[in-house]
Structure 1
């Protein structure tokens, strides 16, 4: 799948899939743990909404902004907060010229299209698995997105790039029957 030319389509698919999953989160489950050990479900949702806002800010200004988890969302407001972030992200990157805009982020300099493909799509897909796993897989996941994110992760987050300052654990071995999301989770150091 070659979407490097315009990753906005995959970004919309990935965030749309995650939006459907977020809409399925019951308020009483917000304190449940996720495979991303630093977050319970509420913390993960705060991180995800903050990530959309940070990605939108990069598209709006061309400059990275520190990802700040949002904290002022009511228990029943996460789906709406995520949808608002999705709309802001899409609007911020609507201009085709922004795909070639140089972006300097903590992990390197790249054109806007590469940032969207790796920083947005891969991050969204990885955390979609985290949330899906925490909820017991209530919705089927788009395997094509999983394969795409896995390819990006294997290129950008090689097995030797782990340790202090990297938010991923050592690569784990995925079960033989793991789908694309399970293989991505294992690559990112998640316990399956």
Structure 2
């Protein structure tokens, strides 16, 4: 998902004992490891997100992780461009590490979960913002992994929790127009959680 587009964030999260910042941290970590494993000969490869090749998606991911910190500080999300265009090919992974550390520092205070934060989509509680960006990072990590032949070790609990949120925020019948997702792809109910999550985002899982 491009976070500049339509995403009808729910007013409250489904009841869960898990702090949504943990899912955000897991998504940041896995995205960084997947980005670090991209080879130079893969930069021009297409991804399941049709608007991005691997190079453009890598640049976008760095921009997203930077924006997560800006949002957590209560600043203007549009102060961060949607792409880290100042980075040359291969500089995305080194840029990821300090950006990820900043996310961890900015989001360390539990009080951020109840704080109103400004996203490109509007003002939402921090708990919702954490899930919105965990979702974006997870789907785009899957895009990048698929494009580069990687098989990340997904913690199934993370996409399972994100799916519970996104099914409320992104109903199946609201696709098209400003909604940057294709139609929901049918997958078995017992498919892996990551497959069900990306299928809800209009991607076609590999399995």
Normalised to the residue count of structure 1, the TM-score between the two structures is 0.88
Residues 27, 63 of structure 1: alpha-carbon distance in 2 compared, 3 angstrom cutoff: same
Q: Which of 76, 80, 93 is the aligned partner of 2:90? A: 76
Higher helix fraction (1 or 2): 1
1:114 match: 128
Find runs of 4+ consecutive structure 1 residues off by over 6 angstroms.
none
> SS state of the match for residue 61, structure 1?
coil
Residues 67, 114 of structure 1: alpha-carbon distance in 2 compared, 3 angstrom cutoff: farther
Mapped to 2, the partners of 1:154 and 1:77 lie a distance apart of 35
Residues 63, 78 of structure 1: alpha-carbon distance in 2 compared, 3 angstrom cutoff: closer
Normalised to the residue count of structure 2, the TM-score between the two structures is 0.82
Distance apart, 1:25 and its partner CA: 0.7
Which whole-Å deviations, capped at 9, do the CAs of 1:90-117 have from their partners, x for residues lacking one? Answer: 2222223222111243444321111112
Which whole-Å deviations, capped at 9, do the CAs of 1:4-40 have from their partners, x for residues lacking one? Answer: 6x32222111111111111111111111111011101
2:113 match: 99
1:44 match: 57
Q: How many residues are paired up? A: 190
> SS state of the match for residue 109, structure 1?
strand
1:184 match: 197
Distance apart, 1:86 and its partner CA: 1.1
Which whole-Å deviations, capped at 9, do the CAs of 1:52-90 have from their partners, x for residues lacking one? Answer: 111111111254336521112232222111222211222
Compare relative contact order (CA 8 Å, sep 6+) and give the higher one, 1 or 2. Answer: 2
2:22 match: 9
What are the residue-to-residue correspondences of 1:154-173 with 2, within 5 Å?
154-173=167-186
> SS state of the match for residue 50, structure 2?
coil
The unaligned stretches of length 5 or more in structure 2 are 1-14
Contact 1:3 1:10 in 2 (8 A): no
Mapped to 1, the partners of 2:115 and 2:37 lie a distance apart of 36
